[in-house]
Structure 1
Amino acid sequence: MFEKRDGEIALADDPAAMPADGHVVFIGRIRSPWTSRADCPKNMAAARERGLMATVEIDEAFRPGLERLDGASHVIILSWFHHAPRNLIVQKPRHASEPKGVFALRSPARPNPVGLHVAKLLALDVAAGLLTLDAIDVLDGTPVIDIKPYFASIDAFPDATIARRESGE
């Protein structure tokens, strides 16, 4: 599914085969229109451009945790990229001229494939465990590991920057 590109470096040991340090449970699944990696938008901006909504289905045991989330305009979804390789520590994105360390990228391929998505919460049905989102940039069926309300007052940094060393990043 992921072909190795020139300049990429794999870890000697695949993190997926290492002993676990903690116990992560999936609390639900994302339902999106994306069923293949080729069709899936590369980020939330691209997902929003396509104008297709998504839903998050929360398992019954975790639905009480949704109480009072309806006051949030936006939510942070933490997902688990279950199809992504975990052993690449240096990657060569298609759009980049040089390889980069995984922690300098937003790629799903990483030692712990955790995704972070900020989405507009369009609707919430606590009893059914359904969150309707404006968009999402993950494959249908992607596991959810957490949901948090987005607070613009503490989560946004308008002056945040990242040095651009090449165009298209």
Structure 2
Amino acid sequence: MPKRPGEMELAENCLSQDAWLSFIGHIQTPFKSREMCPRNGRGTDEVAYIKLKPEFLPGVKSLETCSHVIVFYWMHHAMRTLIQQRPKFDTDIHGTFALRSPNRPNPIAISVVELLEIQPDGLKIRYIDCLDGTPLLDIKPYFPHTDAIPDAQVGWFDKATTPDPI
């Protein structure tokens, strides 16, 4: 992936393998290329499917009572060496950890999705922003009283030169 002017990459060999993760399934979406993906999950009304490996299906017990869940997934096509980036919608450079870009040392993404239906092999959802076939890391219930902070701020985004509404 080409870098934008002013972006910075990590030094070679600074990414170690410290953690052990297991993919519990994958996400099926209509997005076949990065260009097709929305910038964030709320940028699409497309229906998607979480396909769980059979051994993880018992883990959805009681999830049918939830209207929304948090989905953690691995952005497997991300560039993992960028440590400073320039978003398409801004002229300024920002540290990777100040952005939600998939390009990061550990490309773990999250989306709060609407749970439409529990299916025999997983979940039918809406509001996710990943490529078809994206590996799934975890699912957690969304608790509005715990997970929402309405007055939270991202100052640089509010001041972005060419803001792109979320």
- TM-score of Structure 1 vs Structure 2, range by shorter chain: over 0.9
**Which 4+ stretches in 1 moved above 4 angstroms?**
none
C-alpha deviation, 1:14, in angstroms? 5.2
Q: Is the 8 A contact 1:88 1:102 kept in 2?
A: yes
AA paired with 2:71? I
Aligned counterparts of 1:56 and 1:42: Cα–Cα separation in 2 = 19
Residue by residue over 1:73-125, the C-alpha shift from the partner in whole angstroms, topping out at 9 and shown as x without a partner, is 00000000000010000011111111110011000000000000000000012
Residue by residue over 1:135-167, the C-alpha shift from the partner in whole angstroms, topping out at 9 and shown as x without a partner, is 311000000100000000111111112212224
Question: What are the within-5 Å matches in structure 2 for residues 79-98 of structure 1?
Answer: 79-98=73-92
**Which secondary structure state, in structure 1, belongs to the residue aligned with residue 46 of structure 2?**
coil
Relative to structure 1, the CA distance from residue 42 to residue 82 in structure 2 (aligned partners, 3 Å threshold; closer, same or farther) is same
Question: What are the within-5 Å matches in structure 2 for residues 39-50 of structure 1?
Answer: 39-47=36-44
Q: Is the 8 A contact 1:14 1:86 kept in 2?
A: no
Q: Which runs of 5+ in 2 are unaligned?
A: none
- Which of 24, 27, 31 lines up with 1:30 in the alignment? 27
CA RMSD between the two structures: 1.3
- Which of 127, 130, 133 lines up with 1:135 in the alignment? 127
Aligned counterparts of 2:89 and 2:29: Cα–Cα separation in 1 = 25
Aligned counterparts of 2:159 and 2:104: Cα–Cα separation in 1 = 22
**Which secondary structure state, in structure 2, belongs to the residue aligned with residue 55 of structure 1?**
strand
Aligned counterparts of 2:74 and 2:144: Cα–Cα separation in 1 = 24
The residue aligned with 2:9 is 10
Q: Which runs of 5+ in 1 are unaligned?
A: none
**Which secondary structure state, in structure 1, belongs to the residue aligned with residue 69 of structure 2?**
strand
TM (norm. structure 1) is 0.91
Aligned counterparts of 1:117 and 1:54: Cα–Cα separation in 2 = 12
How many residue pairs match? The answer is 161
Q: Percent identity?
A: 42
Aligned counterparts of 1:85 and 1:101: Cα–Cα separation in 2 = 14
Q: Is the 8 A contact 1:14 1:87 kept in 2?
A: no
Question: What are the within-5 Å matches in structure 2 for residues 46-61 of structure 1?
Answer: 46-47=43-44, 51-61=45-55
Q: Do residues 66 (structure 1) and 60 (structure 2) align?
A: yes
AA paired with 1:42? R
Relative to structure 1, the CA distance from residue 19 to residue 97 in structure 2 (aligned partners, 3 Å threshold; closer, same or farther) is closer
